[in-house]
Structure 1
């Protein structure tokens, strides 16, 4: 196994400590040099990845996108002329990392893309043809790319210089997947940096809620004596007894000259709930996610669409751009003519009647054979290759058959179905 982290490979500077190299090369959030990190999380300039993750919609958006992509099956193909052949997964997609499985590996890539706008991988192992067999995703905070020199020079857009923790890395060992890039730049824009104000507003509302319940926010009520003048010492004793009774939810007993008026939260102070929903809706818009999936609100006709339709729209609007990015950038790591595809249909689950109706039509026109349909239901193939035939059913039957779905309890004529006659002996 090659070790690309050896100093002899990249020429570490003698006498420079790892801590000094990390401190000197920590990558900012975006091209506008948003500070990373700062303690005041409610300030737009202080929004960091760790701070933004404390906002529920931001965490929910990353969790939803990363979990959806990492749960999809990967299929590998070879294109030869007009034909496409399905291949077994290469070792890069069977065991891509020293830690975890393929879904952990994809999860790490997605969180880097979602929160940082860049997924940067380092090729750790290659096969005898020099194709990668293991890629480790690096922390984007420690990656720096020089890409602003004049075009054609070293350190320009066409010849960028990559460093990790202050150590230069050969470009051929870097697998870089940017999310949104500007012309002439290699490093992608971070969504958290670009929309720091939106995130900080949500964090401020969340902080207000915490302060309100932690510090009381406002007095719970007025406890007033209408007949006597109470000095400060007696008032303190009465207040402590009242507060203790309120906290323990015990009855309050007082004389005829006392009256208690509870205070309810004002409408203005209750707006933090609306602010939080607005933040969730805005975060959903940034990532193309349906707002109700991360705590926002959706209006209009979308509210009345079916769950299946909403899932299809989620795949098209939110997941598909990420899937295409991953397919294209990871596909170039394979031999020429080979590529990968994510099976996004695995996320669309329909009821059993609709599912088997689709299977029936697939077999009817010869799109799938019986063994393939059984595999989708996690069932073994038929014995002796009986389920390998792709011949469309009308041709296979060689007799009268109703093309649409047929109910077994009624003859086709009573269901208004058109019968198709095929000559006998045309198959086999």
Structure 2
């Protein structure tokens, strides 16, 4: 565990012991409700897993393209740019763009940070983008230059990367560099959820009996006591032995200690924890199969709000980080940028969508080919789909006065 030989500038090398201590201090988590709480354990809660899955899979399936602005206005897809292939199709030889984005969003939602290492070719173009486990890398200040750098545990060896090599998307945090882990900030809620889940497992694994008391008029001998304990452990507990008769000897009596789940407000605790976790991730309950408060009239608006208030912060952070790290200043000046397309999520029902497009068509905002393209249809072959039309009654105000006077 000596000093790491690979340094950047005059930065002091970090020993593996220091790195491990830093990682463990962040990965160890904390305790709440008598339970160990960290990101890995929190995923065992079905609500946490479902919320993270909704976020990760939705971001992964959104169209992601590279565009270049036209000098006179408008934009075109920059399919020939190297970044287009990385983001739209395959960021590295081992995964698709959807898999990469799904992994990154899962890290961001759970830990508050997501990291990817960027490899450039000799021309300075991004060649590969690999996601890195959030607990294997962390930002720090160079002890000499005070510049930001990233320390990465690469198979037991601490390696230092400069910021231009790391695509880091942080969540909310006080310093603006490293985001807070939602799981750790809500450790109390997670602890209650894990404790409730463990209680349920024990309740059913022990034969749905909360407990009881065996009463005997006299003290049992050691052989009798040991035999009774052994019998209870082997034959008196577990689902297979539920409701089997209990054989008691020498005047022994059994008194059950009831603890109905209703008295412990068990169901209410589960619901409360589920709602708090949904609030933590800002995922509408109906998206994780909780339809208690969902109605036909509000479920569509909840879905639109999910895009506006839940996905847009993720999307904006991704776009700004990619534009910053994947394009040179010259390319950004030329108008290259990355853009997610969320139109499909904001479409609404088919009838409402067609009515909205019809209004745009009648007002000359879109032509027939634009409309067909939004519906995944090919342009009209004779070119007539490029014509813009407006309603006949919509004329400039001055024209209306001239027409009236000429009548």
Please tell me the TM-score bracket, short chain as reference.
Answer: 0.7 to 0.9
Distance apart, 1:343 and its partner CA: 1.4
Aligned positions of 1:251-290 closer than 5 A: 266-268=260-262, 270-290=264-284
Aligned residue pairs total 360
Counterpart pick for 1:104 among 99, 105, 109:
99
The Cα offsets for residues 295-324 of structure 1, whole Å up to 9 and x where unpaired, read as 66876xx75743321111111121111111
Counterpart pick for 1:393 among 372, 390, 394:
390
- Tell me the residue number matched to 2:318: 326
- Tell me the residue number matched to 1:256: none
| Contact 1:281 1:296 survives alignment (8 Å) | no
- Tell me the residue number matched to 2:168: 176
Name the CA shift for 1:387/1:21 in 2 (closer, same or farther; >3 Å).
farther
Question: Which SS does the other structure have where 2:283 is aligned?
Answer: coil
| Contact 1:308 1:349 survives alignment (8 Å) | no
Aligned positions of 1:155-194 closer than 5 A: 155=146, 159-165=147-153, 166-183=158-175, 186-194=177-185
- Tell me the residue number matched to 1:86: 76
Aligned positions of 1:110-121 closer than 5 A: 110-121=105-116
Distance apart, 1:138 and its partner CA: 1.0
Name the CA shift for 1:205/1:251 in 2 (closer, same or farther; >3 Å).
closer
Between the aligned partners of 2:242 and 2:207, the Cα distance in structure 1 is 16
- Tell me the residue number matched to 1:338: 336
| Contact 1:61 1:294 survives alignment (8 Å) | yes
Between the aligned partners of 1:85 and 1:77, the Cα distance in structure 2 is 6
Question: Which SS does the other structure have where 1:393 is aligned?
Answer: coil
Between the aligned partners of 1:105 and 1:250, the Cα distance in structure 2 is 51
Between the aligned partners of 1:41 and 1:375, the Cα distance in structure 2 is 53
Structure 1 gap segments, 5+ residues each = 1-6, 223-231, 253-259, 402-419, 424-428
The Cα offsets for residues 342-366 of structure 1, whole Å up to 9 and x where unpaired, read as 1112123533322322232222222
Counterpart pick for 1:358 among 353, 356, 359:
356
Distance apart, 1:331 and its partner CA: 1.5
| Contact 2:39 2:110 survives alignment (8 Å) | yes
Counterpart pick for 1:56 among 40, 46, 55:
46
| Contact 2:85 2:91 survives alignment (8 Å) | yes
- Tell me the residue number matched to 1:229: none
- Give the TM-score normalised by structure 1: 0.70
Between the aligned partners of 2:20 and 2:107, the Cα distance in structure 1 is 15
Between the aligned partners of 2:309 and 2:110, the Cα distance in structure 1 is 18
Between the aligned partners of 2:272 and 2:354, the Cα distance in structure 1 is 41
| Contact 2:32 2:191 survives alignment (8 Å) | yes
- Tell me the residue number matched to 2:206: 215
Distance apart, 1:191 and its partner CA: 1.2
Distance apart, 1:41 and its partner CA: 8.8
- Tell me the residue number matched to 2:374: 376
| Contact 1:26 1:143 survives alignment (8 Å) | no
- Tell me the residue number matched to 2:120: 125
Between the aligned partners of 2:174 and 2:189, the Cα distance in structure 1 is 21
CA RMSD of aligned residues (A): 4.3
The Cα offsets for residues 64-114 of structure 1, whole Å up to 9 and x where unpaired, read as 111111111123332356623122342231321222211111111101111
The Cα offsets for residues 319-342 of structure 1, whole Å up to 9 and x where unpaired, read as 111111011111222221221221
| Contact 2:284 2:303 survives alignment (8 Å) | no
Distance apart, 1:292 and its partner CA: 3.9
The Cα offsets for residues 44-64 of structure 1, whole Å up to 9 and x where unpaired, read as 6x3222111111111111101
Q: Residue 138 in 1 paired to residue 132 in 2?
A: yes
Between the aligned partners of 2:288 and 2:17, the Cα distance in structure 1 is 35
| Contact 2:210 2:259 survives alignment (8 Å) | no
| Contact 1:97 1:136 survives alignment (8 Å) | yes
Question: Quick check: 96-105 or 351-360, which moved more?
Answer: 351-360
- Tell me the residue number matched to 2:397: none
Structure 2 gap segments, 5+ residues each = 214-223, 246-253, 395-399
Between the aligned partners of 1:173 and 1:126, the Cα distance in structure 2 is 12
| Contact 1:78 1:85 survives alignment (8 Å) | yes
